[in-house]
Amino acid sequence: MRTVTPQEIKQAIKTSAYPVALTGAGISVASSLPTLNKKFHGIPIETILHRSFFEEHPYTFYEFYREILRWKYCDPNPAHYTLAKYGISTVTQNIDGLHQKAGSQKVIEIHGNLRHLRCEQCCILYNTQLAKSQTLPLCHACGSILKPDIVLYNEPIQHWKKAVKEFLKADLVLIVGTSLQSSPINALPQLALESGAAQITINVHSDQFLHF
């Protein structure tokens, strides 16, 4: 497969009527964020991010969560800024908020975000600051353990219908920093392809290929 140059990517974006990006952890590697193959205290991050782990080991889960709250202080890299610069609608699997920090106005966070904690009983949202002040944050109303507003394994993704609509409108799909191993996420680009969209995949060095 021929490698597309940054100049060709730029031209494809500029001539596209409705480009849409699907981003994953790889786009944020240049911002010093880890991918899921890393470990925390010897435990694979992917294991920690399962719903069952949250339920069975909430204290360890929140230790990890307080660690990843530092992601909010990381800076976007050129790939984030380029998507923002060209106003590209972005569906992201990331929870780091770097697309918005770079200035993107249209971001669909299908795996949630690091801005809120949620009481699953009362449906009340809390600021994540509570996770810093309490070892195990609890709902002020009912006393239940709060859950970060992120999608864990074995939970349904958020905003699926909105994501599908974006890909059905797309005439150009940019797949950036994701291997599309997860279902149903991997079905989104296919929807666009079936509607005649072009597709460009950038899975390594996205900060260099999307730097214009």
Question: Are 200 and 4 a contacting pair, CB within 8 Å?
Answer: yes
The DSSP secondary structure of 10-77, one letter per residue, reads HHHHHH-SSEEEEE-GGGGGGGTPPPTTSEETTEEHHHHTBHHHHHH-HHHHHHHHHHHGGGGGSPP-
Partners of 19 in the β-ladder = 172
Select which of 41, 50, 80, 111 is catalytic: 111
3-state secondary structure of 169: helix
Q: Are 205 and 4 in contact (CB under 8 A)?
A: no
Residue 111: active-site member: yes
Backbone angles phi, psi at 150, to 5 degrees: -125, 150
- Of the candidates 90, 64, 110, which has an alpha carbon nearest to the alpha carbon of residue 175? 90
| Cβ atoms of residues 207 and 78 within 8 Å | yes
**Catalytic positions:** 111
